Amino acid sequence: MILLRVTIAFLLLLLLPDWYIHRVYLKGLANWQKRLYWAPSLLLLALLGIFVTAQETFHDYFGIYLIVVLCIAVPKTFFVLFSLLVRGIGKLCRCSLPHGWIALFPSLGVCGYVIYGAVYGKENFKIHEVTFCSPDLPEAFDGYRILQISDIHSGSWKGNSEGLQRAINLCNAIQPDLAVFTGDLVNSRSDELPEFAPVFRQLTAKDGVYSILGNHDYGTYAHWDSEQDRLANVDSLIAYQRRMGWQLLLNEHRVLHRGNDSIALVGVENCGKPPFPDRADLPKALQGTEGMFKVLLSHDPTHWRREVLPDTDVQLMLAGHTHDMQISLLGFSVSRFIYPEHRGMYLENGRGLYVNIGLGYVLFPMRLGAWPEITVLTLRKCN
């Protein structure tokens, strides 16, 4: 079903703009010129068929393919939209406007923006300062600062440890009280980590660095000779995190102290709806935290409405997972149609969810508008 949807989306994205341009702007061209115009889109569709039928063989090149598709299809789509707009204005004003030339300029601008996202956007790290207020917060934790990063996807950074080093340097410069990582350290395999473990080991905070697993960390997106091999990969990933000095929370909690006050940091394994893994045991993780202010680390933000809000008294949950689809134009991302809570802070009856849109990238090597995020969340006591 997912494959069918992707194929239909590609057909619409590539062929509809070409059909419009062919009808409106190519009437006077010779047949061979018209066929030449259609060649890039037809070639990209043929390549899509190759990627679908031989995913394992050409997997490493699929991201580049997607960038090429976006650089061609998105500017054409904007060209069509602006062409229709200018033609409509011309009809209303009863004047002849050079709609093709006018539509060309914004489409070229969009093309440049897409290229920027592919070349620079994935390292355009943004620090977001957020405040969460709760009357349940102990006095000693008023002003407590939590640094959150998420969705690093180490395999996507292969050969570019310098980029992640810059991100970790930015994190350490904040000097937070606590640092948390909310899942998806790798794309699939623990052997993505040796290049970057020395960088991740440098992440520090006064009360330590804590982490959880995300859906990619279970290795379910890679081919394994046996289930034992996949489980060994998960064990290797867990061992790497511990050697890095990150305290991995597997359906458990830790109590953080300030003077005579304390709060609970709770971490669960991935809690997702199919096809994502569901390994979370929230009741187990919460045992012993009764009456305490709780910060929950849970990778998938849909967990908040499915279990956290209705079944617990957790005041604040920190999640990742969505990436905001890595593309957000003028504040709009299609991720809002998939995830009701897809980026930023959400509040309900004094309880909060913060969705970090991730530090890394997966599938296609770019970020556009949905820039890689480092969150600094300050806890405040309020009435």
Average pLDDT over residues 189-199: 96
Q: Which two tokens stand for residue 244?
A: 């890095």
Mean pLDDT across 95-121: 91
Tens of pLDDT along 288-331? 999 999 999 999 999 999 999 999 999 999 999 999 999 887 77
Per-residue pLDDT, averaged over 20-24, amounts to 91
pTM as predicted: 0.89
For 316-338, give one letter per residue: b (16+ CB within 10 A) or e: bbbbbbbbbbbbbeeeebebeee
At 13, the pLDDT band (50, 70, 90 cuts) reads confident
pLDDT band at 233 (very low <50, low <70, confident <90, very high): very high
pLDDT tier, 11 (very low <50, low <70, confident <90, very high otherwise)? confident
> Mean pLDDT in the chain?
92
Q: Is 192 exposed, middle or buried (0-12, 13-18, 19+ CB in 10 A)?
A: buried
2 band by pLDDT with thresholds 50, 70 and 90: very low
Which is it for the CA torsion 69, 192, 368, 322, positive or negative?
Answer: positive
What CATH code is assigned to 125-381? 3.60.21.10
**What gap in Å lies between CA 333 and CA 350, rounded to an integer?**
26
**Which pLDDT value is given to residue 29?**
86
Q: Is residue 283 over pLDDT 80?
A: yes
Taking the C-alpha atoms of residue 91 and residue 197, their distance in angstroms, rounded to an integer, is 61
Where does CATH 3.60.21.10 sit in the chain? 125-381
Region 4-32: what's the mean pLDDT?
Answer: 83
Q: What is the H or E stretch that residue 316 is in?
A: strand 316-319
Joined tokens for residue 51: 């990627």
Range 226-254 average pLDDT: 97
